[in-house]
Amino acid sequence: MRQIKKLEEGVRLRIESEDDLWVLSQLCRPRSILGMLSHRRDSTTGTQQDGRAKNAERKPMWIVLDIEKTEFQGFTDNLRAHGIIIEAKIDIGSHHTHIISPGDEIELTFPGGLVNSDSALLKETIKAGSRAKSALIVVENDEIMLFEVASHGIREVSQFSMRGGGKRVSDSTSVRRGFFERVAKETVLVFHNNIPLVICGPGLAREQFESMLREVGAKNQILNAATSIGGRPAANQVLADGLADAVLGEHALVSQIKAIEEGLKRISVNGAVAYGAKIISEAADAGAVDVLAIDAALLRSLDPKIRKSWESISEKIESSKGNIIQVSQDHDSAQQLLGLGGAIALLRWKMD
């Protein structure tokens, strides 16, 4: 995401990636004002039938909406923002939907300006710039899983299984080699050379698969990381344990998962950690919170009481030099966070 211009109560932004759309979905809350170049059917053109224009011309125009709601599904290439037209050449007061994709420029403003949580998320995203996507490949002897890594989560792209295995043939090595070659060719089609690859899994199969990738022409940056487990849990282990920090260390997703997993570890040993709004609030009052990992939606709750409570807690944490990590819901660790009420705090010392 790139900031084009700072406005009196907002910003003009260029959307550069799918990751930016998740951020924008958090910022476009009800009562925010969103303007962009869009198209609107001009009812004064075309033929009239039953009071509606048939084959009316769709005209490009700058349309500003008072946002009512947004629709965004992770790992898609557009965000739908619904609202009432408050500025356009035609149809003031009518409903309209902006469909926002990478490459679009938008103006986003808020009555009274951005709140702290929105400003922090926006600054973090602009600072991160447009990073290349990354991929995680979990390799076992008879199964390979491909994942796409984004700042807001991981998505399973493909899963391949070696049906039958070596027990039914005389040369299991040749069967596995054929399986690895087939999947390697699929992998280079899915993840182009500019996408870093992290290959992980138990055993030595991951090293054999890396060699096969090179044989079929992959020129990607590749990091090979050993894990104690396979499947999707292996992908989570790589992210949580920092096994691929050389490639993924600056991803917002990694900081989210590390903070949550560290909090869960501290809970298991009765360490310096807090969860639940009341206890986290008390820790914030005492200046004890070092890191707060919080579901981004909590900071933007439609319930004013909940939203203001967490905004107040966040301000106290920031005033004591603590760090706020806004977490998306599109990964496994985030689901564990939701089970704890949506927030967990790593403390500087253990609270009594």
Quote the CA–CA distance of 102 and 20 in Å, as a whole number: 8
Residue 253 lies in a domain: no
Residue 254 in any domain: the answer is no
Mind listing the pLDDT tens digit for each residue in 147-185?
A: 998 878 888 899 999 865 444 444 478 888 999 999 999
**For all residues of the chain together, what is the average pLDDT?**
89
Question: Alpha-carbon distance 49 to 331, whole Å?
Answer: 49
CATH number at residue 103: 2.30.30.870
* Structural domain count of the chain: 3
Same domain for 120 and 139?
A: no
Residue 292 reports pLDDT greater than 70: yes
6 shares its domain with 80: yes
* Share above pLDDT 70 across residues of the chain, in percent, rounded to a whole number: 92
Q: Which of 296, 290, 282, 281 is nearest to 259 (CA)?
A: 290
Q: Which domain holds residue 328?
A: 263-347
- H or E stretch covering 54: strand 52-54
* Domain-embedded: residue 258: no
More confident residue, 57 or 264: 264
Residues 122 and 141 both lie in one domain: no
- Backbone φ and ψ of 106, nearest 5°: -135, 155
Together in a domain, 148 and 121: no
46 and 122 both lie in a single domain: yes
Q: What percentage of the chain carries pLDDT values higher than 90? A: 69
Domain's final residue, options 82, 102, 128:
128
Residues 144 and 117 in one domain: no
- Alpha carbon distance 174, 157 (integer Å): 26
Question: Would residue 163 count as lying in a domain?
Answer: yes
Query: Of 128, 146, 178, at which residue does a domain stop?
Result: 128
CATH for 195: 3.30.420.60
Please name the residues in contact with 195: beta carbons below 8 A apart, sequence gap of 6 or more: 132, 133, 134, 135, 220
**DSSP letters of 54-86?**
ETPPEEEEEEEEEEEEEE--TT-S-EEEEEEEE
| Domain final position from 220, 248, 276 | 248
Are 153 and 123 in the same domain? Answer: no
The DSSP symbol for 269 reads: T
Q: What is the pLDDT of residue 49?
A: 54
Q: Please give the Cα distance from 321 to 315 (Å, whole number).
A: 10
For residue 198, which of 215, 184, 183, 210 has the smallest C-alpha distance?
Answer: 210
Position 198 confidence tier, pLDDT thresholds 50, 70, 90: very high
Amino acid at 81: A
pLDDT attached to residue 3: 92
CATH number at residue 275: 3.30.1330.30
How crowded is the C-beta side of 318, counted as CA atoms within 13 Å?
Answer: 11
What pLDDT is attached to residue 131?
62
Per-residue pLDDT, 338: 96
